[in-house]
Amino acid sequence: MGYLNNSIVTIDAILTNKGRELLARGDGSFKITQFALADDEIDYTLYNPTHPSGSAFYGQALENMPLLEAFPETTQNLKYKLTTLPRGTAKMPVLDAGFAAITLKQGASLAITPQTLNYLGNNQIFETSGYTATLADVRTLSNFNGVGINTEQAEALNQTQTIGTNVSKTVVGTTINLTATTVNTLFGSNTQLNTTLQIVGRDSGARITIPVTITKTT
Amino acid sequence: MSFKRLDPEDFLISADSITAGAWSGNSPSITTFFTSSVQEAGSSGDYYLNVYSENPDTSNTASVEFAVAFGDSAGSGSILYDPGQNGKSPSSTVFGQFQNIVLGDENNNFIFGGVTPVTQSFFALSVERSKYKGSIFPGTMNLVLSSSAGFITLTDNSRDVSTTVFNEAGRVFQLVSGSNGNAIGEGDTPASAVSNGMTISGSYGLFLPDIGCLLLNAPALELPEADGGIALDVGYQTNGDDDNNRAIFEVVSGSGTTGVGKANFLLNSQENITSDFLFIRARNSEYNYSENPSFISGSTGEVLYTNFINAPQTFITSVGLYNDANELLAVAKLSKPLKKDFTKEALVRVKLDF
């Protein structure tokens, strides 16, 4: 005799900045079709597989931790997604962009072709759905696009013009092209601009964040 | 794979009706009533008086609860816009305004409880939109009107009628003497009345929940107490300010009359909140590994603990809702991590309000 596990959890969702933007656009792009789960804020080093009280207590330090509220900023949510992999997976997919950091002179270009290690039994593959690349400050590049994925959604993303302030921009492709800005006024009295490029495997969920530095030449 | 498509049966749209006290602070009743001397002295004071539950002349937190206005088809009771143009005054403007939105035809007369008063005049009590939210909840309205002649408690007859009548302003109920949506019985109703809780001049007015308004039938309120009225002194000068707005304010507030201590205006608001519910289902074989950097050791991707190879455990903290372009549209956070492994399935209901 015991109580049944009341396992359904109800939570309230908030719209992200991107969600608000697409809702305001009113062109049907605000259409939820899929979901992902993440474990942001979890530090697995706190998991204790040697807990003296047994396996029920391994995750004790994590199970009751208080969590922060959701952030409206799109890029600050679901950083670390949970993935579905075969049981017995010993190595997690890892992205290799070929660069630990990117430094570009004004007007210089670079093409990045990421690869995924340890995915679907392969040591190294290009994911068939491509990669999502998000630049934190779109002003730092005069050209930022993805090529190689020709779905309607990917092409729509790649053609989106982002103007104005230091907003992020997301593109999709198997190769990501970057060209540093030639606009001097962005630098002010500084000699370089800094931003980040986040690349996520669209199939594996593996991600990598690369610092990007644009150096002033004139 | 990190993304999982939602099936049609994972979506549920629910419209919930939320009711609450209508007045400031979600209070269901007001017992103290104030007007603003500034508003009354201004040009809008010719048309209506804003009514507050705190004195706006001394309180910074006072907010408008409702407004009272007098409408008359002949423009009586207020000063003509142009002395040479009879019938054109603030009271006829108010009358025409409500005739337009309630009756929909400038040639139609107001009918109160089956009676069409010869004198087409009424007092409008228009509740502040932010107070009644979507609509007034029928059956919750109780309004005490008191004068030196006596007092009555008015309510709508929503619980006495089996079918709801609609007009141009949506649902319409009769204002009757009674409480909580029920009229008083035959024994308490004047013999001359046309129906229970009414008067010989018909009902006490119309209750229009969908536009947040009450229209009080002036001829019914003018009747002596024995006939169900409160002997309200309504002025009908053809070109003079009879200050009828203040007259109705005083019977609502019960100031200086037999109604001192009895003044009360009870009301509940009602609104429909439309929510999208999404059911997020993680099967036992799904979402048992993580891209969290602390889940792996080193740069080559080995899982942190050897027992994670065959018995991994993850802790769900966030649910992300995406479109086909993998753009994150909405995000929900759990109040505490939800443990997930190959022996568990997770069902999370996400509520998205619009």
Instruction: Flag whether residue B8 sits within 8 Å of chain A, measured between CB atoms.
Output: no
* Residue pLDDT, tens place only, B110-127: 999 999 999 899 999 999
State the sign of the Cα–Cα–Cα–Cα dihedral B158, B160, B162, B167.
Answer: negative
Distance set, CA B71 to CA B86, B89, B91, B235, B243 (Å): 15, 10, 4, 12, 12
Q: What is the pLDDT of residue A7?
A: 54
Record the tokens describing residue A126, joined without a space. Answer: 């290009």
CA distance B137 to B270: 5
Q: What is the pLDDT of residue A2?
A: 53
Indicate which of B296, B299, B318, B345 best probes the interface with A, i.e. most A CBs within 10 Å of its own CB.
B318
Do B336 and A42 make contact, defined as CB atoms within 8 angstroms?
Answer: no
Contacts of A80 in chain B (CB under 8 A): 290-293, 295
Q: Which long-range contacts (CB under 8 A, 24 or more apart) does A151-156 make?
A: A153/B323, A153/B324, A153/B325, A153/B326, A154/A130, A154/B325, A156/B325
Average pLDDT of the residues of chain B: 92
* B1: nearest CB among A9, A84, A154: A84
Rg (CA), chain A: 21
- Give the whole-number percent of chain B exceeding pLDDT 70: 98
Give B87: exposed, middle or buried? Use CB within 10 Å, 0-12, 13-18, 19+: middle
* A37: nearest CB among B282, B302, B312: B282
Do B315 and A63 make contact, defined as CB atoms within 8 angstroms?
Answer: yes
Q: What is the pLDDT of residue A160?
A: 61
* B333: nearest CB among A11, A85, A94: A11
* Residue pLDDT, tens place only, A81-133: 999 988 998 888 888 888 889 999 999 999 999 999 888 777 778 888 899 89
> What is the arithmetic mean of pLDDT over A186-204?
89
pTM: 0.65
Q: What is the pLDDT of residue A1?
A: 45
Do B327 and A170 make contact, defined as CB atoms within 8 angstroms?
Answer: yes
Q: How do beta strands A102-105 and A207-215 pair?
A: parallel
* Residue pLDDT, tens place only, A138-155: 889 888 989 988 877 777
Q: What is the pLDDT of residue A150?
A: 83
Do A118 and B301 make contact, defined as CB atoms within 8 angstroms?
Answer: yes
Contacts of A9 in chain B (CB under 8 A): 334, 338, 346-349
Best CA proximity match to B257, nearest among B150, B143, B144: B150
Q: What is the pLDDT of residue A4?
A: 43
Q: What is the pLDDT of residue A54?
A: 84
Which of A10-24, B81-95, B321-335 is the most confident on average?
A: B81-95
Which of A193-202, B12-21, B69-78 is the most confident on average?
A: B69-78
Do A202 and B349 make contact, defined as CB atoms within 8 angstroms?
Answer: no
Do B320 and A77 make contact, defined as CB atoms within 8 angstroms?
Answer: yes
* Residue pLDDT, tens place only, A6-27: 455 668 889 998 899 888 888 8
* B2: nearest CB among A70, A81, A89: A81
Instruction: Flag whether residue B334 sits within 8 Å of chain A, measured between CB atoms.
Output: yes
ipTM greater than 0.90: no
Q: How confident is the model at residue B196 (pLDDT cuts 50, 70, 90)?
A: very high
Record the tokens describing residue B258, joined without a space. Answer: 């037999």
Number of residues assigned to chain A:
218
Do A16 and B3 make contact, defined as CB atoms within 8 angstroms?
Answer: no
Angle at B267 between CA B263 and CA B268, to 5 degrees: 155
Q: Which long-range contacts (CB under 8 A, 24 or more apart) does A207-210 make?
A: A207/A79, A207/A80, A207/A81, A207/A95, A207/B291, A208/A94, A208/A95, A208/A96, A208/A97, A208/A114, A210/A97, A210/A99, A210/A100, A210/A101, A210/A102
Do A84 and B351 make contact, defined as CB atoms within 8 angstroms?
Answer: no
B339 pLDDT exceeds 70? yes
Contacts of B3 in chain A (CB under 8 A): 34-36, 202, 205
Best CA proximity match to B260, nearest among B53, B24, B32: B32
Best CA proximity match to B243, nearest among B234, B255, B251: B234
> What is the arithmetic mean of pLDDT over A206-210?
88
CA dihedral B241, B245, B248, B249 (to 10 degrees): -130
> What is the arithmetic mean of pLDDT over B145-151?
88
* B5: nearest CB among A11, A30, A33: A33
Best CA proximity match to B203, nearest among B109, B112, B139, B110: B112
Record the tokens describing residue B153, joined without a space. Answer: 């408690």
Q: H-helix or E-strand containing B208?
A: strand B205-208
Q: What is the pLDDT of residue A5?
A: 46
